[in-house]
Amino acid sequence: MYLDLFLTLGPVKLSKRLDTFKSFIPKLYDLNDQDFPNIALEVFRFQARHNPVYRQYVHHLRMNPDEVDQLNQIPFLPITCFKSHTIMTQQWEPVSFFTSSGTTQQKASKHAVWDMDFYLDNATRSFHHFFGPLENYHFLALLPSYLERSGSSLIAMIDFFIRKSQSPHSGFYLSNIDTLLSDIEKLKHDARPTILWGVSFALLDLADQYEIDLSHCLFMETGGMKGRRKEITRGELHAILKQKLNADKIFSEYGMTELFSQAYTNGGHIFKTPPWMKVIGRDVTDPLSKGLVEETAGLNVIDLANFATISFIETEDMGKIFDGNGFEVLGRMDNSEARGCNLLL
């Protein structure tokens, strides 16, 4: 089996552990729907043994990892654990940490990075799976709230996309909107499509302040008002941007500090995941009851690219799961901070 080598490892040297992680990477990208459950279960058993926080969580649930033989039986670690613990499978030296934009009331999440090149390559593969090579696009990034702090996984990803696009026009824009619009106009008749990648509030500010026709751009919104504007639904956001910017479609990206992979829409409200990622619905009143389809549920994410940290995450997002590996995000759960690792503490 793919992870037999993992499961036999004891207290080996750091370099050996990282080499073993790297040996799993080719298997990660050979997955199909038939392979996914078996490999996910192997990763689960490995992490349930060698991830101290996850091992404790599984123990408190009185579960025997060897008796878990279905995806819906796998326990998902509450995402709040990233705020109180450093989540690692085995022990290794992080090269960096991704951090979330925490508020004064809430502690920020922190995700240890074992290999930055792997994260960037995996993010590239996620994008390529849906949209093709990075070199096919100009990337113009309107991400002020992310640029204004350090440790953003999104900024690391988009910076890499900008560089790999090899376009002299790709770049970040903070508050220089006039320059952004000027550059967009220059690219209007370029054969390469322009992607305007923006946080929701910045795209709304752009739509409110300027009367412009950006029908030749592809819009990629990454969600979040970051306290800058009133929260609205994704459907309302897309309707406003389509009307005011003359956009045919608004694409969306679903990613977070705690995940190495990203899901995308194709211009609608249904997100699709790359083959090594899957989203499962859970009962909001009973987190251990999973597999809900076509009804409002909490979203659990399996990200096999998180094999060095934790691949099974119980998020604070509400949504719906659809047949064909699609899901919709409806919003955030109320009082989500009350659950999870805070209770273990």
Query: Distance between CA atoms of 189 and 82, rounded to whole angstroms?
Result: 45
pLDDT of 301 > 50? The answer is: yes
- Report the pLDDT value the prediction gives residue 164, as an integer from 0 to 100: 97
The answer to whether residues 279 and 300 touch, using CB atoms and an 8 Å cutoff, is yes
- Report the pLDDT value the prediction gives residue 283, as an integer from 0 to 100: 93
Tell me what the mean pLDDT of segment 88-99 comes to.
95
Query: Distance between CA atoms of 338 and 342, rounded to whole angstroms?
Result: 7
pLDDT of 6 > 50? The answer is: no
pLDDT category at 333 given cuts 50, 70, 90 is: confident
Tell me what the mean pLDDT of segment 308-323 comes to.
95
Q: Token pair for residue 241?
A: 């941007």
Q: Annotate the chain with three-state secondary structure.
A: CCCHHHHCCCCCCHHHHHHHHHHHHHHHCCCCCCCHHHHHHHHHHHHHHHCHHHHHHHHHCCCCHHHCCCHHHCCCEECCHHHHCCCCCCCCCCCEEEECCCCCCCCCCEEEECCHHHHHHHHHHHHHHHHCCHHHCEEEEECHHHHCCCCCHHHHHHHHHHHHHCCCCCEEECCCHHHHHHHHHHCCCCCCCEEEEECHHHHHHHHHHCCCCCCCEEEEECCCCCCCCCCCCHHHHHHHHHHHHCCCCEEEEECCCCCCCCEEECCCCCEECCCCEEEEEECCCCCCCEEECCCCEEEEEEEHHHCCCCCEEEEEEEEEEECCCEEEEEEECCCHHHCCHHHHC
φ, ψ of residue 184 in degrees (nearest 5) = -65, -40
The answer to whether residues 287 and 48 touch, using CB atoms and an 8 Å cutoff, is no
Query: Distance between CA atoms of 326 and 314, rounded to whole angstroms?
Result: 17
- Report the pLDDT value the prediction gives residue 338, as an integer from 0 to 100: 42
Closest to 24 (Cα-Cα) out of 313, 308, 310, 309 = 308
CA count, 13 A, side-chain hemisphere, 297: 24
Closest to 51 (Cα-Cα) out of 297, 286, 311 = 311
- Report the pLDDT value the prediction gives residue 95, as an integer from 0 to 100: 96
Closest to 96 (Cα-Cα) out of 160, 153, 163 = 153
Tell me what the mean pLDDT of segment 170-181 comes to.
89
Which residues have CB under 8 Å from 168's CB, separation 6+? none
Any idea of the CA torsion for 221, 321, 340, 114, to the nearest 10 degrees? -60
The pTM (predicted TM-score) of the whole model is: 0.90
pLDDT category at 13 given cuts 50, 70, 90 is: low
pLDDT of 331 > 90? The answer is: no
